[in-house]
């Protein structure tokens, strides 16, 4: 079963409008989409903890929640010991910093995958004696807010590299309305419920055409 973004929005609109969606509805598709996005990220993360962690004891997230971004440029100052790459979308918070799932120079070999180094640990690793040999042999990165800091000397060559990142996140911006959602079938209903629930407490979600229900009609 593959539900597209447009289909999901359609289903939610239909519920919100009591079965009669109209172009005059006050709730716009973009708004529903953002609610959907939040709900999907929350549900997939909960699913991961419930199933992957608790039942299997594994820590590898399911592929459904991984999004790949390519052609990410590096920025920095030549001769600095490190440079940064901007993370295109803020990923989820997962154990071991797995929100940023993979960082690699575009088109490089799988073995050249960068090693994640938790924030604040690079200096410790550097001074740790025997373990510090890792630094000279593998390139590490640290996730720092909106950026990933790559622990490689910034040169004209290294700064010219393009990076590929895999992030644990659902970002609907990049999907067209006919794109299939990264959502398992069993979670579709939960997403719809979550979005509808967000609107339940809002007064007059559906445009009321009567004079009594809509004060602005008196003004007309």
Partner 1 sequence: MATPTNSYVTLDQIVNHWLLSNGKTVHNYMKAYTFATEAVRELSFNSLHLIQETFLAKPKGQSWWNLPSDYTDWVSVGIRNGEFWRPVGVLKGLMPFPAPHNYGLDLATSVVKTPSVGSTAEFYTYTFNLTNTAAAAEFNNIVTAKAQGMPFGIQNVLPLAAVSTTAVGTTGTVIISPSTGLTFNQTLGLQSVLYLWIYPIPNQALIDDDYANWGDEVSGYAGSPTNPWFTPYQGFLPFFFSDLYNDWGQMKGRQFGLGDGTRIDSVVINVEQGIIVCPKQFPSDYLYLAYVSTGNANTMTKIPKNGQAAIEAYITWKYFATKRNRQQDAAIAKANYDAQHKLLRSRNNTLTTTDVKRVIARGFGRTKE
Which residue in 64, 72, 134, 159 binds partner 1 (CB under 8 A)?
134
For the segment 34-63, give every residue that binds partner 1 (CB under 8 A).
Answer: 56-60
Among 43, 74, 98, 191, contact with partner 1 (rule: CB under 8 A) = 98
Q: Are strands 115-116 and 140-144 parallel, antiparallel or unpaired?
A: parallel
Of 76, 88, 91, 140, the residue at the interface with partner 1 (CB under 8 A) is: 140
The three-class DSSP label of residue 195 is helix
Q: Which two tokens stand for residue 17?
A: 């409008």
Residue 32 CB partners (closer than 8 Å, separation 6+) = 9, 12, 13, 195
Minimum CB distance to partner 1, residue 137 (Å): 5
Q: How far is the CB of 74 from partner 1 (least distance, A)?
A: 20
Q: Is 79 in the site for partner 1 (CB under 8 A)?
A: no
- How many residues at the interface with partner 1, by CB under 8 A? 27
Q: Taking CB under 8 A as the rule, does residue 216 contact partner 1?
A: no
| CB closer to partner 1 out of 16 and 98 | 98
CB of 173 to partner 1, least distance (A): 26
Residue 65 vs residues 4, 30, 52, 141, 147: alpha-carbon distances, Å:
16, 21, 12, 22, 20
Cα angle value 219/200/25 (rounded, 5°): 45
Paired tokens of 62: 């399911």
For the segment 108-127, give every residue that binds partner 1 (CB under 8 A). 113, 115-118, 121, 125
Q: Which two tokens stand for residue 97?
A: 């910093």
Measured CA to CA in angstroms, residue 39 lies from 31, 115, 153, 191 at distances of: 13, 31, 40, 6
Q: Which member of 133, 155, 173, 179 binds partner 1 (CB under 8 A)?
A: 133
Question: Binding residues for partner 1, per CB under 8 A?
Answer: 56-60, 96-98, 101-102, 113, 115-118, 121, 125, 128-131, 133-134, 136-138, 140
């Amino acid at each position: 079963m593959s539900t597209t973004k447009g289909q999901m929005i359609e289903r939610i609109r239909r519920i919100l409008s009591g079965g009669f969606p109209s172009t005059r509805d006050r709730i716009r598709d973009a708004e529903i989409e953002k609610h959907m996005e939040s709900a999907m990220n929350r549900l997939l993360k909960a699913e991961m903890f419930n199933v992957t962690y608790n039942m299997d004891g594994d820590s590898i997230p399911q592929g459904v929640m991984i999004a790949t971004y390519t052609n990410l440029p590096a920025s920095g100052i030549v001769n600095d010991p490190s440079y940064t790459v901007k993370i295109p979308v803020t990923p989820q918070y997962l154990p071991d910093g797995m929100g940023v799932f993979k960082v690699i120079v575009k088109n490089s070999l799988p073995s050249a995958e960068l090693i994640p180094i938790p924030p604040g640990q690079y200096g410790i690793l550097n001074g740790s004696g025997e373990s510090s040999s890792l630094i000279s042999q593998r390139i590490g990165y640290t996730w720092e807010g909106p950026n990933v800091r790559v622990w490689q000397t910034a040169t004209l060559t290294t700064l010219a590299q393009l990076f590929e990142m895999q992030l644990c996140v659902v970002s609907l911006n990049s999907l067209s309305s006919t794109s299939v959602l990264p959502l398992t079938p069993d979670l579709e209903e939960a997403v719809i419920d979550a979005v509808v629930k967000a609107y339940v407490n809002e007064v007059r979600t559906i445009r009321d055409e009567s004079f009594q229900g809509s004060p602005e009609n008196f003004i007309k």
